[in-house]
Amino acid sequence: MPSYYLAATLARFADEMVAFTLVLLVLDRTDSPTLAGLTGAAYALPAIVTGPLLGAWLDRTPHRRSALAVNQATLAVVMLVLLLVVGRGSGWIAPVLAAVAGATLPMVSGGFTSMLPSLFSRHRLARANAFESVSFSAAAIAGPATAATIAATVSVDAAVVVIVAAAALSISAISRLPQLPPVGASGEPILAAVIGGLRHLARTPPLRASTVTTTLLMGFTGMLLIALPLHMQSLGEPRSAAGYLWTAVEVGSVTTALLLSRVIKLRPEYVVMLSVAAYGLLLSTWSLAPTFAVLLSLAVVAGLSEGPTLPAMFAARQQYSPPELQGRVSTTAASLRVGASALGQAAAGLLVPLTGTHLALLITGLGLVLAAALGGLSNVGRPHAALPPAVRQQP
């Protein structure tokens, strides 16, 4: 459905710009990596708590469109306020405002993705997942590149205004989505619903393996949001040039997502682990790049290896979860990913000034290899007995 992908991509485009622009805005006005890391972390960290709650609520509500629209409206308002106060008031104001915008952040990923089984028939889900991956990648390509270009040619403030405009346009697209009926049991207590989603994630080994791997993936790559802008100085480039590296990664990623997602025959959790390990090995070479052009080429190659991760992650959630758990599983897993990214940013804000950017890049790459290994170790046991057999079948 064009309306779905337009709404989802615009929302994700705004979010991808936020992750990069917040760091640039704080660095530009305060020159503090620590505060930049804390602000980025504050934007993502609330999702650890709100994701499971939002997912349980989404499964039982007919008002998904309204929830998605409120998320975008909140983002637009907070970004405008940040534009007025960052660098002009107390340092704690920026992280607090970022946390307000981040409270409903799981809507951008899990909230939209959980709608796919209701919008598409089972035999079309593989193709829908590939396009969903393209939606994420298109946003991740355009978001940092747009932020970098506008920040370099106009100002960081102008990049914030573009985020506000994208959020407003996404609200218009969301209004065109169909009204979907609830898929969960409305009489189930909200806490029980949250626990049910967490229990399902924990008790289903293939889903657990995918979730562990992708959560740690986000944790280690969250470090790059701080390390890459600071690393640009060693290559004689402005901090904003780091946005083009994220774009290069996603160009490679979307290429393999489109070409390989329907032809890979491995189980999805294995695809997730193998692609993350390969991504980590290639990312480990970034610290050796002597010029920005070489680093840009390495980023494209790394993206090629990472491309199958998202479609396989979506497939794992859908194949190993019954329909009534799709919302809470998607948003809970998304909240873990976003929360891990927040911790990675906060850690990088403290670590990078001490270790330097070259060592931080190496740690990130090796961390991704470790993420895949831990995912493999968690893939032990049999799926929970309550999982319907039809869901466990391969497409």
What does the domain layout of the chain look like in residue ranges? 2-392
- Helix, strand and coil content of the chain, in percent to the nearest 5, comes to 80, 0, 20
Least confident piece of the model among 118-122, 168-172, 198-202: 118-122
Over range 216-244, report the average pLDDT.
90
Structure tokens belonging to residue 237? 């480039």
Query: What are residue 393's phi and psi, to 5 degrees?
Result: -70, 145
pLDDT at res. 385: 40
* Confidence check: pLDDT of 268 > 60: yes
Say how far apart CA 259 and CA 303 lie, in whole Å: 13
pLDDT at res. 361: 94
User: Average per-residue pLDDT in the chain?
Assistant: 83
SS3 285: coil
What value, to the nearest 5°, has the Cα angle with vertex 325 and ends 331 and 99?
15
For residue 333, give the nearest of 349, 312, 350 by alpha carbon.
Answer: 312
- pLDDT category, 261, cuts 50, 70, 90? low
Q: Specify whether the CB–CB gap between 69 and 171 falls below 8 A.
A: yes
Over range 18-39, report the average pLDDT.
86
Tally Cβ neighbours within 10 Å of residue 320.
25
pLDDT at res. 183: 62
Tell me how many helices (H) and strands (E) the chain has: 20, 0
Give me the amino acid identity at 6.
L
* Confidence check: pLDDT of 392 > 80: no
pLDDT at res. 176: 85
Which tops the pLDDT comparison, 119 or 358?
358
pLDDT at res. 393: 35
- pLDDT category, 387, cuts 50, 70, 90? very low
Beta carbons within 8 Å of 76's beta carbon, 6+ residues apart: 163, 164, 167, 168
* Confidence check: pLDDT of 175 > 50: yes
SS3 8: helix
pLDDT at res. 53: 77
User: What letter would DSSP give residue 186?
Assistant: T
Residue pLDDT, tens place only, 73-127: 999 999 999 999 888 877 788 899 999 988 887 777 667 777 777 777 777 777 7
Alpha-carbon torsion (40, 332, 374, 279), positive or negative: negative
* Confidence check: pLDDT of 191 > 50: yes
Q: Could you give the angle at which helices 205-222 and 190-203 cross, rounded to 10 degrees?
A: 100
Q: How far is CA 233 from CA 118, 238, 312, 344, 362, in A?
A: 47, 6, 36, 21, 17
pLDDT at res. 294: 96
Over range 32-47, report the average pLDDT.
84
pLDDT at res. 286: 95
pLDDT at res. 159: 93
2-392: CATH number: 1.20.1250.20
Least confident piece of the model among 18-32, 142-156, 221-235, 255-269: 255-269
